Amino acid sequence: MSNIMTTQSPTSRMPLVAALEVLLPLRGDRIVVTTMGAAREWPKLSTHPLDFHYIPSAMGAAPALGLGLALAKPQREVLVLNGDGAMLMNLGSLVTIVAAGASNLTLITLDNGIYEVTGGQQTAAAAAARHAWVDFAGMARAAGFARVARFERWEDWQRGAAALLADPGPRFVVLAVEPVGAAYHLEAPGPLSERLPKFQAALAQI
Amino acid sequence: MDYPAKPVADLLVELGFSHVVWLPDSALGPWEAELDRPGTLELVRVCREGEAWALAAGLYLAGKRPLVMIQNTGLFESGDALRNFLFDLKLPLVAVIGYRSALVPGNNDSACKFTEPMLKAWGLDYVVIRSPDELPQMREHLRVSLAAGRPGVVLVAEGRM
Protein backbone atom coordinates (compact mmCIF):
# COMPACT_ATOMS: atom_id res chain seq x y z
CA MET A 1 0.00 0.00 0.00
CA SER A 2 1.58 3.24 -1.07
CA ASN A 3 0.94 6.59 0.51
CA ILE A 4 -0.79 9.13 -1.67
CA MET A 5 1.49 11.86 -0.38
CA THR A 6 5.18 11.40 -0.55
CA THR A 7 7.77 13.77 0.84
CA GLN A 8 10.19 12.96 -1.91
CA SER A 9 10.30 15.66 -4.51
CA PRO A 10 11.89 14.76 -7.83
CA THR A 11 15.66 14.53 -7.67
CA SER A 12 15.86 15.00 -11.38
CA ARG A 13 13.73 16.38 -14.17
CA MET A 14 14.00 15.88 -17.88
CA PRO A 15 13.49 18.50 -20.58
CA LEU A 16 9.95 18.42 -21.90
CA VAL A 17 10.96 18.14 -25.55
CA ALA A 18 13.39 15.32 -24.82
CA ALA A 19 10.67 13.48 -22.93
CA LEU A 20 8.32 13.77 -25.90
CA GLU A 21 11.02 12.77 -28.38
CA VAL A 22 11.21 9.37 -26.70
CA LEU A 23 7.63 8.77 -27.84
CA LEU A 24 8.20 9.67 -31.48
CA PRO A 25 9.55 6.30 -32.69
CA LEU A 26 7.08 4.47 -30.44
CA ARG A 27 3.79 6.18 -31.34
CA GLY A 28 3.25 3.97 -34.41
CA ASP A 29 -0.37 4.34 -35.53
CA ARG A 30 -1.59 5.51 -32.15
CA ILE A 31 -4.12 8.31 -31.84
CA VAL A 32 -2.34 11.08 -29.91
CA VAL A 33 -4.22 13.77 -27.98
CA THR A 34 -2.12 16.63 -26.65
CA THR A 35 -2.99 19.46 -24.31
CA MET A 36 -1.20 22.25 -22.41
CA GLY A 37 2.62 22.10 -22.73
CA ALA A 38 2.56 18.99 -24.88
CA ALA A 39 0.24 20.73 -27.33
CA ARG A 40 2.89 23.38 -27.77
CA GLU A 41 5.81 21.02 -28.40
CA TRP A 42 4.37 17.88 -30.02
CA PRO A 43 3.24 19.67 -33.23
CA LYS A 44 6.85 20.71 -33.78
CA LEU A 45 7.86 17.06 -33.64
CA SER A 46 4.99 15.29 -35.39
CA THR A 47 2.47 16.03 -38.12
CA HIS A 48 0.68 12.69 -38.03
CA PRO A 49 -2.97 12.82 -39.17
CA LEU A 50 -3.99 11.03 -35.97
CA ASP A 51 -2.54 13.80 -33.80
CA PHE A 52 -5.12 16.05 -32.21
CA HIS A 53 -3.87 19.14 -30.44
CA TYR A 54 -6.65 19.95 -28.06
CA ILE A 55 -6.53 23.76 -28.23
CA PRO A 56 -8.68 25.60 -27.27
CA SER A 57 -9.56 23.27 -24.46
CA ALA A 58 -11.61 22.85 -21.35
CA MET A 59 -8.70 22.40 -18.95
CA GLY A 60 -8.79 18.91 -17.46
CA ALA A 61 -10.94 17.38 -20.19
CA ALA A 62 -8.26 15.72 -22.32
CA PRO A 63 -8.28 12.33 -20.48
CA ALA A 64 -12.04 11.98 -20.95
CA LEU A 65 -11.75 13.07 -24.57
CA GLY A 66 -9.09 10.41 -25.10
CA LEU A 67 -11.22 7.86 -23.33
CA GLY A 68 -14.10 8.54 -25.71
CA LEU A 69 -11.76 7.96 -28.64
CA ALA A 70 -10.42 4.78 -27.05
CA LEU A 71 -13.90 3.38 -26.47
CA ALA A 72 -14.96 4.21 -30.01
CA LYS A 73 -11.82 2.65 -31.51
CA PRO A 74 -11.02 -0.29 -29.24
CA GLN A 75 -8.68 -1.83 -31.81
CA ARG A 76 -6.48 1.26 -31.81
CA GLU A 77 -4.17 2.59 -29.08
CA VAL A 78 -4.80 6.10 -27.77
CA LEU A 79 -2.14 8.23 -26.11
CA VAL A 80 -3.10 11.30 -24.09
CA LEU A 81 -0.36 13.79 -23.18
CA ASN A 82 -1.68 15.75 -20.23
CA GLY A 83 -0.29 18.33 -17.81
CA ASP A 84 -0.13 18.01 -14.03
CA GLY A 85 -2.33 21.05 -13.47
CA ALA A 86 -4.87 19.64 -15.91
CA MET A 87 -4.67 16.27 -14.19
CA LEU A 88 -5.45 17.90 -10.85
CA MET A 89 -8.57 19.42 -12.34
CA ASN A 90 -10.08 16.04 -13.08
CA LEU A 91 -8.62 13.37 -10.85
CA GLY A 92 -11.89 11.48 -11.07
CA SER A 93 -11.07 10.72 -14.69
CA LEU A 94 -8.56 8.16 -13.39
CA VAL A 95 -11.48 6.18 -11.99
CA THR A 96 -13.63 6.79 -15.05
CA ILE A 97 -10.93 5.37 -17.35
CA VAL A 98 -10.53 2.22 -15.30
CA ALA A 99 -14.29 1.77 -14.91
CA ALA A 100 -14.74 2.01 -18.67
CA GLY A 101 -12.24 -0.80 -19.20
CA ALA A 102 -10.24 1.02 -21.85
CA SER A 103 -7.21 -1.22 -22.10
CA ASN A 104 -6.06 0.69 -25.21
CA LEU A 105 -5.43 3.98 -23.42
CA THR A 106 -2.20 5.48 -22.12
CA LEU A 107 -2.39 8.65 -20.06
CA ILE A 108 0.90 10.48 -19.64
CA THR A 109 1.10 13.33 -17.14
CA LEU A 110 3.91 15.76 -17.74
CA ASP A 111 4.57 17.05 -14.24
CA ASN A 112 6.40 20.35 -13.86
CA GLY A 113 4.60 21.43 -10.70
CA ILE A 114 3.36 24.74 -12.07
CA TYR A 115 0.65 26.36 -14.16
CA GLU A 116 2.99 27.31 -16.96
CA VAL A 117 0.28 28.71 -19.20
CA THR A 118 -0.54 31.46 -16.69
CA GLY A 119 3.02 32.43 -15.91
CA GLY A 120 4.41 29.70 -13.69
CA GLN A 121 2.38 29.74 -10.50
CA GLN A 122 2.62 26.66 -8.33
CA THR A 123 -0.12 24.09 -8.43
CA ALA A 124 -1.68 23.06 -5.14
CA ALA A 125 0.29 19.87 -5.48
CA ALA A 126 3.65 21.53 -5.87
CA ALA A 127 6.29 21.14 -3.22
CA ALA A 128 6.39 24.68 -1.94
CA ALA A 129 2.65 24.80 -1.56
CA ARG A 130 2.17 21.45 0.11
CA HIS A 131 5.64 20.71 1.48
CA ALA A 132 5.26 17.37 -0.19
CA TRP A 133 4.71 15.97 -3.64
CA VAL A 134 1.41 14.51 -4.62
CA ASP A 135 1.97 11.03 -5.90
CA PHE A 136 -0.01 10.96 -9.15
CA ALA A 137 1.26 7.46 -9.88
CA GLY A 138 0.00 6.28 -6.51
CA MET A 139 -3.40 7.73 -7.28
CA ALA A 140 -3.52 5.94 -10.63
CA ARG A 141 -2.46 2.71 -8.97
CA ALA A 142 -5.18 3.11 -6.37
CA ALA A 143 -7.72 3.79 -9.11
CA GLY A 144 -6.85 0.47 -10.69
CA PHE A 145 -4.67 1.28 -13.69
CA ALA A 146 -3.11 -1.89 -15.04
CA ARG A 147 0.30 -0.32 -15.56
CA VAL A 148 1.71 2.65 -13.67
CA ALA A 149 5.15 4.20 -13.81
CA ARG A 150 6.94 7.39 -12.87
CA PHE A 151 10.16 8.62 -14.42
CA GLU A 152 12.41 11.46 -13.35
CA ARG A 153 15.53 10.68 -15.38
CA TRP A 154 15.36 10.83 -19.14
CA GLU A 155 17.64 7.82 -19.44
CA ASP A 156 15.21 5.69 -17.43
CA TRP A 157 12.26 6.90 -19.45
CA GLN A 158 14.03 6.20 -22.71
CA ARG A 159 14.98 2.73 -21.52
CA GLY A 160 11.55 1.84 -20.17
CA ALA A 161 9.08 3.48 -22.53
CA ALA A 162 8.77 0.79 -25.21
CA ALA A 163 8.12 -2.04 -22.78
CA LEU A 164 5.69 0.06 -20.82
CA LEU A 165 3.64 0.92 -23.88
CA ALA A 166 3.57 -2.75 -24.85
CA ASP A 167 2.09 -3.80 -21.53
CA PRO A 168 -1.68 -4.23 -21.17
CA GLY A 169 -3.50 -1.02 -20.35
CA PRO A 170 -4.84 1.24 -19.25
CA ARG A 171 -1.45 2.74 -18.53
CA PHE A 172 -0.55 5.80 -16.51
CA VAL A 173 2.84 7.46 -16.67
CA VAL A 174 4.19 10.46 -14.81
CA LEU A 175 7.18 12.21 -16.31
CA ALA A 176 8.93 14.79 -14.14
CA VAL A 177 9.76 17.54 -16.61
CA GLU A 178 11.50 20.88 -16.37
CA PRO A 179 9.40 24.03 -16.65
CA VAL A 180 9.92 25.91 -19.87
CA GLY A 181 9.88 29.20 -17.99
CA ALA A 182 9.67 32.59 -19.62
CA ALA A 183 9.78 31.05 -23.09
CA TYR A 184 6.34 29.57 -22.61
CA HIS A 185 3.84 30.51 -25.26
CA LEU A 186 0.89 28.31 -26.11
CA GLU A 187 -0.44 28.79 -29.58
CA ALA A 188 -2.78 26.59 -31.57
CA PRO A 189 -1.05 24.93 -34.54
CA GLY A 190 -3.59 26.26 -37.03
CA PRO A 191 -7.31 26.96 -36.95
CA LEU A 192 -9.46 24.38 -35.20
CA SER A 193 -11.93 24.63 -38.07
CA GLU A 194 -9.26 23.08 -40.28
CA ARG A 195 -7.61 20.72 -37.82
CA LEU A 196 -10.74 19.06 -36.47
CA PRO A 197 -12.21 17.89 -39.81
CA LYS A 198 -8.81 16.49 -40.79
CA PHE A 199 -8.59 14.59 -37.53
CA GLN A 200 -12.13 13.27 -37.95
CA ALA A 201 -11.35 12.19 -41.50
CA ALA A 202 -8.27 10.33 -40.27
CA LEU A 203 -10.32 8.62 -37.56
CA ALA A 204 -12.87 7.56 -40.14
CA GLN A 205 -10.14 5.68 -42.00
CA ILE A 206 -9.46 3.43 -39.02
CA MET B 1 -42.66 11.11 -11.10
CA ASP B 2 -41.42 7.76 -12.36
CA TYR B 3 -40.50 7.61 -15.99
CA PRO B 4 -40.48 4.00 -17.23
CA ALA B 5 -37.05 2.72 -18.16
CA LYS B 6 -37.78 0.42 -21.06
CA PRO B 7 -39.58 2.92 -23.30
CA VAL B 8 -36.72 5.37 -22.73
CA ALA B 9 -34.07 2.80 -23.60
CA ASP B 10 -36.08 1.65 -26.61
CA LEU B 11 -36.39 5.12 -28.03
CA LEU B 12 -32.67 5.75 -27.58
CA VAL B 13 -31.88 2.53 -29.40
CA GLU B 14 -34.38 3.42 -32.11
CA LEU B 15 -32.62 6.75 -32.60
CA GLY B 16 -29.31 4.99 -33.09
CA PHE B 17 -27.49 6.06 -29.97
CA SER B 18 -24.44 3.93 -29.32
CA HIS B 19 -23.44 5.16 -25.85
CA VAL B 20 -25.06 6.85 -22.88
CA VAL B 21 -22.47 8.82 -20.92
CA TRP B 22 -24.00 9.43 -17.57
CA LEU B 23 -23.96 10.53 -14.00
CA PRO B 24 -27.51 9.82 -12.85
CA ASP B 25 -29.86 11.48 -10.42
CA SER B 26 -32.82 9.97 -8.66
CA ALA B 27 -35.16 10.31 -11.66
CA LEU B 28 -32.74 8.97 -14.26
CA GLY B 29 -31.15 6.41 -11.98
CA PRO B 30 -33.88 3.75 -12.28
CA TRP B 31 -33.10 3.57 -16.01
CA GLU B 32 -29.67 2.06 -15.33
CA ALA B 33 -30.44 -1.59 -15.97
CA GLU B 34 -32.23 -0.89 -19.25
CA LEU B 35 -29.54 1.50 -20.46
CA ASP B 36 -26.90 -1.09 -19.63
CA ARG B 37 -28.66 -3.95 -21.39
CA PRO B 38 -26.08 -5.95 -23.34
CA GLY B 39 -26.21 -5.68 -27.09
CA THR B 40 -28.01 -2.35 -27.22
CA LEU B 41 -26.55 0.74 -25.62
CA GLU B 42 -23.21 1.04 -23.87
CA LEU B 43 -23.44 2.84 -20.56
CA VAL B 44 -20.35 4.81 -19.59
CA ARG B 45 -20.15 6.08 -16.05
CA VAL B 46 -18.28 9.29 -15.24
CA CYS B 47 -17.28 10.80 -11.90
CA ARG B 48 -18.07 14.42 -12.72
CA GLU B 49 -20.36 15.88 -15.35
CA GLY B 50 -17.66 17.84 -17.17
CA GLU B 51 -16.15 14.50 -18.11
CA ALA B 52 -19.40 13.50 -19.78
CA TRP B 53 -19.20 16.16 -22.49
CA ALA B 54 -15.53 15.40 -23.13
CA LEU B 55 -16.05 11.68 -23.28
CA ALA B 56 -19.05 12.09 -25.56
CA ALA B 57 -16.94 14.34 -27.77
CA GLY B 58 -14.31 11.65 -28.20
CA LEU B 59 -16.97 9.10 -29.06
CA TYR B 60 -18.59 11.46 -31.54
CA LEU B 61 -15.33 12.40 -33.26
CA ALA B 62 -14.58 8.72 -33.76
CA GLY B 63 -17.92 8.02 -35.39
CA LYS B 64 -20.21 7.00 -32.53
CA ARG B 65 -23.52 8.53 -31.48
CA PRO B 66 -23.33 9.35 -27.75
CA LEU B 67 -25.98 10.80 -25.47
CA VAL B 68 -25.04 12.78 -22.35
CA MET B 69 -27.33 12.04 -19.41
CA ILE B 70 -26.85 14.11 -16.25
CA GLN B 71 -28.76 16.18 -13.68
CA ASN B 72 -29.24 19.93 -13.98
CA THR B 73 -26.85 20.47 -11.08
CA GLY B 74 -24.29 18.70 -13.26
CA LEU B 75 -25.16 20.99 -16.12
CA PHE B 76 -23.95 23.88 -13.99
CA GLU B 77 -20.83 22.01 -12.96
CA SER B 78 -19.93 21.10 -16.51
CA GLY B 79 -20.26 24.55 -18.03
CA ASP B 80 -16.67 24.90 -19.20
CA ALA B 81 -16.66 21.51 -20.93
CA LEU B 82 -20.02 22.25 -22.53
CA ARG B 83 -18.72 25.63 -23.70
CA ASN B 84 -15.64 24.11 -25.22
CA PHE B 85 -17.09 21.08 -26.96
CA LEU B 86 -20.36 22.62 -28.17
CA PHE B 87 -19.08 26.07 -29.07
CA ASP B 88 -15.32 25.85 -29.72
CA LEU B 89 -15.30 22.41 -31.32
CA LYS B 90 -18.90 22.93 -32.52
CA LEU B 91 -19.91 19.35 -31.85
CA PRO B 92 -23.64 18.56 -32.06
CA LEU B 93 -23.84 16.69 -28.77
CA VAL B 94 -27.26 16.01 -27.30
CA ALA B 95 -28.29 15.50 -23.69
CA VAL B 96 -31.08 14.31 -21.44
CA ILE B 97 -30.94 16.27 -18.19
CA GLY B 98 -32.82 15.63 -14.98
CA TYR B 99 -34.72 18.79 -14.02
CA ARG B 100 -34.68 18.71 -10.25
CA SER B 101 -37.75 20.11 -8.43
CA ALA B 102 -39.46 21.18 -11.65
CA LEU B 103 -42.65 19.40 -10.60
CA VAL B 104 -42.68 20.96 -7.14
CA PRO B 105 -44.93 24.01 -7.20
CA GLY B 106 -43.40 27.10 -5.63
CA ASN B 107 -40.10 25.37 -4.88
CA ASN B 108 -37.08 27.36 -3.77
CA ASP B 109 -34.56 25.12 -5.49
CA SER B 110 -31.94 27.34 -7.12
CA ALA B 111 -30.99 24.47 -9.42
CA CYS B 112 -34.52 24.57 -10.78
CA LYS B 113 -34.64 28.36 -10.95
CA PHE B 114 -31.53 28.73 -13.10
CA THR B 115 -31.80 25.74 -15.41
CA GLU B 116 -33.88 27.18 -18.23
CA PRO B 117 -32.26 30.64 -18.09
CA MET B 118 -28.90 28.87 -18.31
CA LEU B 119 -29.93 26.86 -21.37
CA LYS B 120 -31.29 30.02 -22.97
CA ALA B 121 -28.04 31.82 -22.22
CA TRP B 122 -26.14 29.04 -23.99
CA GLY B 123 -28.61 29.26 -26.86
CA LEU B 124 -29.38 25.56 -26.54
CA ASP B 125 -32.58 24.22 -28.04
CA TYR B 126 -34.50 22.34 -25.36
CA VAL B 127 -37.84 20.82 -24.46
CA VAL B 128 -39.25 19.91 -21.06
CA ILE B 129 -41.12 16.67 -20.51
CA ARG B 130 -43.29 16.55 -17.43
CA SER B 131 -44.80 13.06 -17.50
CA PRO B 132 -44.25 9.66 -19.07
CA ASP B 133 -46.97 10.54 -21.56
CA GLU B 134 -44.60 13.11 -23.01
CA LEU B 135 -41.81 10.66 -23.86
CA PRO B 136 -42.69 10.99 -27.56
CA GLN B 137 -41.58 14.62 -27.25
CA MET B 138 -38.21 13.39 -26.00
CA ARG B 139 -37.92 11.14 -29.03
CA GLU B 140 -38.92 13.90 -31.43
CA HIS B 141 -36.60 16.53 -29.99
CA LEU B 142 -33.63 14.19 -30.03
CA ARG B 143 -34.51 13.05 -33.55
CA VAL B 144 -34.75 16.61 -34.85
CA SER B 145 -31.51 17.64 -33.14
CA LEU B 146 -29.66 14.66 -34.59
CA ALA B 147 -31.10 15.23 -38.05
CA ALA B 148 -30.16 18.90 -37.95
CA GLY B 149 -26.68 18.15 -36.61
CA ARG B 150 -27.06 20.58 -33.74
CA PRO B 151 -26.94 20.30 -29.95
CA GLY B 152 -30.21 19.63 -28.18
CA VAL B 153 -31.38 19.10 -24.62
CA VAL B 154 -34.35 17.27 -23.14
CA LEU B 155 -35.19 18.28 -19.57
CA VAL B 156 -36.87 15.54 -17.58
CA ALA B 157 -38.95 17.24 -14.91
CA GLU B 158 -38.68 15.75 -11.45
CA GLY B 159 -40.68 16.09 -8.28
CA ARG B 160 -37.91 15.72 -5.74
CA MET B 161 -35.96 18.62 -4.34
Which residue has better confidence, A100 or A3? Answer: A100
Whole-number average pLDDT of chain A? 91
User: Does B88 touch chain A if contact means CB atoms closer than 8 Å?
Assistant: yes
What's the pLDDT tens digit per position in B114-136?
999 999 999 999 999 999 999 99
- Closest Cα of chain A to B63: distance in Å? 7
User: Does B48 touch chain A if contact means CB atoms closer than 8 Å?
Assistant: yes
> What's the fold here for domain A14-204?
Rossmann fold (3.40.50)
What's the pLDDT score for residue B38? 87
Q: At residue A128, does pLDDT exceed 80?
A: no
Q: At residue A94, does pLDDT exceed 50?
A: yes
- The lowest-confidence range among A36-40, A48-52, B135-139 is A36-40
Whole-number average pLDDT of chain B? 96
Q: Degrees (nearest 5) of the Cα angle A64, A69, A70?
A: 90
Q: At residue A189, does pLDDT exceed 90?
A: no
> For chain A, which residues make up each domain, given as ranges?
14-204
Which residues of A touch chain B, with CB atoms under 8 Å apart?
A: 52, 56-73, 90, 92-93, 95-96, 99-100, 192, 196, 199-200, 203-204, 206
**Interatomic CA distance for residues A56 and B26, integer angstroms:** 34
ipTM at complex level: 0.97
What's the pLDDT score for residue A7? 47
Q: At residue A1, does pLDDT exceed 50?
A: no
User: Does B80 touch chain A if contact means CB atoms closer than 8 Å?
Assistant: yes
What's the pLDDT score for residue A183? 65
Q: At residue B161, does pLDDT exceed 60?
A: no
B residues 120..159 contacting A (CB < 8 A): none
A57-78 residues labelled b (16+ CB within 10 A) or e (exposed): bbbbbbbbbbbbbbbbbeebbb
- What is the value of pTM for the model shown? 0.95
Q: At residue A117, does pLDDT exceed 90?
A: no
Q: At residue B52, does pLDDT exceed 90?
A: yes
Decide if B61 and A68 are in contact by the 8 Å CB cutoff.
yes
